[in-house]
Copies of this chain bind each other. A is one copy, B any other.
Amino acid sequence: MRLSVNPNDKTPIYRQLYEQIASDVLSGKLSPGTPLPPIRTVSKELGVSMITVRSAWEMLERDGFLVTRTGSGCFVAQLNEAHRQTRVDERLSAAVDALIADAKALGVEEETLHAMIEKRYR
């Protein structure tokens, strides 16, 4: 559980938190059932308001990444392997499609894209 926020980043803090946790759940770094640290703790450690953390948590729950049990805490949701894989694919497909749209708008060929990925993947 290594969370961090970058206040210079223009993306909202709650979204930054969302992305980090969602990715960790989807990549398997956080396994189902794992308890998350209390909102107040996260809030203090990151130096952001409780509400900001809650806002991220709420989004994560809505999207099925965690379940919250009032009085006892928040836990990584149970996602079976197939489901997890599906969501990884969805997420990546969207990102890939966005890149391809960009490339096409700029008149860049598929080969150039592959080459660029190869060069920058490290």
Contacts and interface: CB of A to CB of B under 8 A. Distances in A.
B92 A7 contact: no
Contacts of A117: 96, 99-100, 110, 113-114, 117
Interface string A70-83: 10000000000000
State how many copies of this chain the complex holds.
4
Name A's interface SS.
helix
A88 B108 contact: yes
Interface residues of A, number: 39
Interface of A: 7-8, 12, 19, 23-24, 26-29, 62, 67, 69-70, 88, 91-93, 95-100, 102-103, 105-108, 110, 112-114, 116-118, 120-121
